[in-house]
Structure 1
Amino acid sequence: MPKVVRLRVFQGITGSAGQPAALAKGLRQYGVDARSIIIGDNHFSYAADDVINCSLSDWVSIGRYLAEIVDSYDIFHLHMRPFFYWNPNEFYFPALLDLVLLKAAGKRVCFHFRGSEVRKPSLFRATNRFHYADEDPDRLFKKFNESSQEAYINYISAIADRVFVTDPELQSYVPGSIVIPRYVQPPETVKARPLRGENPVVLHAPSRRGVKGTDFVLAAVEQLKREGHAFEFRLIEGRSNAEALSAIADADILIDQLRIGWYGVLAVEGFALGRTVISYIRPDLIHTFGADPLPLANADPETIIDVLRQHITQRHSREQMARAGREWFEQTHSAEAVMPLLVSHYQDMMLAPKPVDARTVQRLLEYQASLRSGSGWLSILPPALLENVTKFKYVNKNDGMAAAVRSMVRFLSRKLFK
């Protein structure tokens, strides 16, 4: 692929399973000036080119940071959330308006949905019999209610030049989105050991137990232990990404998830390191792999015992699956597969930017105005956000929403689009 010049790409602003950093690094190999930036906490210590140490609710600091960097990039590739975003169920002003400001500055915006923020519970129930929507582990569906998800998806789709998702399962929640497969490139320092012939090591590394189906995994392991099968089981949680990669490299069988309906970054890391991967693929999505056999062992909460037993007891099965997974990685998740696809979208959007849908922006502003309470609209904001809002001399607690909007837009226009 020819080198791309004068294309400057921002990747951020959360860790997002290490994907922004991985994409930035991969893009640099293709001649793109790309950098990854994380703002706020980074629970699993994912790498990034820059880390901005401020709270994700400190929109004054975030806004000033955006003003400083806006001229440094041509494309803003945002993962899961924009810069101005605090409560996923109540988009207080100026939430989401940074996307419009970026477009007004002549920038291109890519938005990459990555999971729970768009996995609508009604569709999840309808398409996946192993869903966890009713259990709501970690209050994910409480955090992202469906009406807000719908509004979020519609707004992003109307503004962004490209809307990406990570896989066909997420694409089923975001009509018109484009799949950019997950990309990983394990460090050269991570060396995968040869697969064991006997007593294989089975690894499960859930980020959220309820989401990944960990209880079903543990029950299957106990059952197979009672049956007398020889294997070692390792459960790791709360480890850094580097520690997780080392654990995968030393395992033989990797159990990713049993309930979502597609595999995640952990599975891709398993493919890359030549491990046998077990994960649940929704039946209606199996055809997206093409005519070849699946590159992973498809298991759900009802079949995990049998599938795990097969790969523990049959060395040939796990070695064959490990080879298929590695081939799938090269075909789908490697730099040679992902980077040309991504760069082609970047080039296309630079030539033909998508116009902003003014009606959608107006609907957002009307919704934000509806959140106010009389003229003292600031009183309803969360305390942390209220503290940051009132740092602006342009806004005070007695302003009505209309006055606040006018003054804030004037401020942002001066700062961002001089």
Structure 2
Amino acid sequence: MVNRNRLPRWVNALIDAIADAPMSPIGRLAARRMGTPAPAGTIPAITFPERPIRVLIAPVNYSGQARAWAQALEASSPEISARNTAMDVPGGFSFDADLIVPVATFHNDADWQRRQFDAAAHATHVLIEAAEPPFGRMLGRSVEAQVEALRARGVDIAYLAHGTEIRMPSRDLRDNPWSHYADPEIYAPRDETLARRNIALLRRSGRPLFVSTPDLLLDLPEAHWCPVVVDLSRWEPAAPRTERPAGAPLRVAHAPSVSTIKGTHLILPTLRALEAEGTIELQLITGVPSAQMPAKFAEADVVIDQMRIGSYGVAAAEAMAAGCVVVGHIAPRVREIVEDATGSPPPIVEATVDTIEQVLRELAAGDLRTLRTRSREFVTQVHDGTRSAATLRTHWIDAGARPDTEGTSDASPR
């Protein structure tokens, strides 16, 4: 990919103008590059078991979280049926969803969009992820227009932000000395524009707002933290962990899904040096399907997670569930947010680029059993889905605030 920081300003302005006008002739042409939709009628719309409360979460399912939240909601009450829809993006990670839609169908198949809208209008509640339009290019690809069409059918709406779509580069650069927005590979001006635009959209919606990681409350403080969810039984090692023999290297894993953001290049020289001297045994995990990750984490004593964002997410929770000690950088304010919300500080060992060597040396020389126990207890308390479902229900589903349904119509939008 081209590094946009190296392009002339007018070229970046042109790129942004095309992205901001998806229904223009050039925008329509760009959409065709997503491919040809599946044959007409072959991709179904979502369906719900008939229960009093029917929830749809759409349309991105990052890290499989939409499906996990849906399952947590169903587990919380026999009156709730919850489903999720996700785009199938070629080359992306493979996560289960209740309905996976090819990206070309999602964006370019007007028939599927209408059928999916009618199915979603049968829900009582729709949670929109990442400020993305749940019905592709319907109604000019406008999130607000699609939401108003659902509200006209009596559907209660809420929004959930996952990360980049509301994380403000200017705020992060001011507060975070390790901010990835300072990296020349990241084109921060576009992220700044989109974050400002999305935050404004969410605020003027007047709807309940949620975020998936606690650091996002720094950018959207009126939201509620809906913790990420992990399947504890899936991540628990098949066999009990055995302690490292005295003097054996510390088994360290790092899974840089996006290495620039996770800070891999900033710590890799230190990790290689520690490996060369026998202090650690390093496993870099790249390109591994989600289904194989539990076995990878079962082989590690320590998992190094985020070194730049100042928070933690799905990977750290999964590693804790697998019985690993997690090392990463969490900003002091984010640690306070987590402890205030849960009553427990996150048991993630603090390290920065400057301190990672000393932290790993201390862990290699110490006993990890207490940290492992605390980590497993924390992820069970905070990330098993119970707290997430309670948050969505307390601040949205059970709150009793339903949209005005005057003028409700059975017609589908075009």
The within-5 A match list for 1:349-360 is 349=399, 351-353=400-402
The within-5 A match list for 1:94-109 is 94-96=141-143, 97-109=145-157
Query: Is 1:114 aligned to residue 111 of structure 2?
Result: no
Give per-residue Cα distances to partners, 1:22-70, cap 9 Å, x unaligned: 1112222222201121123161101111112242532635532433312
Equivalent residue in structure 1 for 2:101, among 22, 29, 52: 52
- On the 8 A contact 1:206/1:236 being kept in 2, the answer is yes
Distance 1:335 1:148, change over 3 A: closer
Gaps of 5+ in 1: 357-411
Query: Is 1:260 aligned to residue 309 of structure 2?
Result: yes
Gaps of 5+ in 2: 1-49
- Paired residues in the alignment total 350
Distance 1:227 1:40, change over 3 A: closer
The within-5 A match list for 1:339-418 is 339-349=389-399, 351-353=400-402, 414-416=411-413
DSSP 3-state at the match of 2:181: coil
How far residue 302 of structure 1 moved from its aligned partner, in angstroms, is 1.0
The within-5 A match list for 1:226-237 is 226-229=276-279, 231-237=280-286
The within-5 A match list for 1:18-417 is 18-30=64-76, 31=78, 32-41=80-89, 43-55=92-104, 56-58=106-108, 60-61=110-111, 63-83=113-133, 93-96=140-143, 97-137=145-185, 139=186, 141=188, 144-159=190-205, 161-188=207-234, 191-193=237-239, 194-198=241-245, 199=248, 200-229=250-279, 231-290=280-339, 294-314=346-366, 316=367, 318-349=368-399, 351-353=400-402, 414-416=411-413
Distance 1:27 1:329, change over 3 A: same
- On the 8 A contact 1:277/1:321 being kept in 2, the answer is no
How far residue 344 of structure 1 moved from its aligned partner, in angstroms, is 2.3
Distance 2:214 2:234 in 1: 30
Name which of structure 1's ranges 196-205 and 276-285 shifts more when overlaid on structure 2: 196-205
Letter in 1 for 2:305: D
Distance 1:162 1:62 in 2: 28
How far residue 277 of structure 1 moved from its aligned partner, in angstroms, is 0.6
How far residue 292 of structure 1 moved from its aligned partner, in angstroms, is 5.3
- On the 8 A contact 1:296/1:324 being kept in 2, the answer is no
- TM value normalised by structure 1: 0.76
Distance 1:67 1:84, change over 3 A: closer
Distance 2:310 2:200 in 1: 23
Letter in 2 for 1:307: V
Distance 1:151 1:92, change over 3 A: farther
- On the 8 A contact 2:202/2:209 being kept in 1, the answer is yes
- On the 8 A contact 1:105/1:416 being kept in 2, the answer is no
Distance 1:113 1:335 in 2: 17
Distance 2:178 2:229 in 1: 27
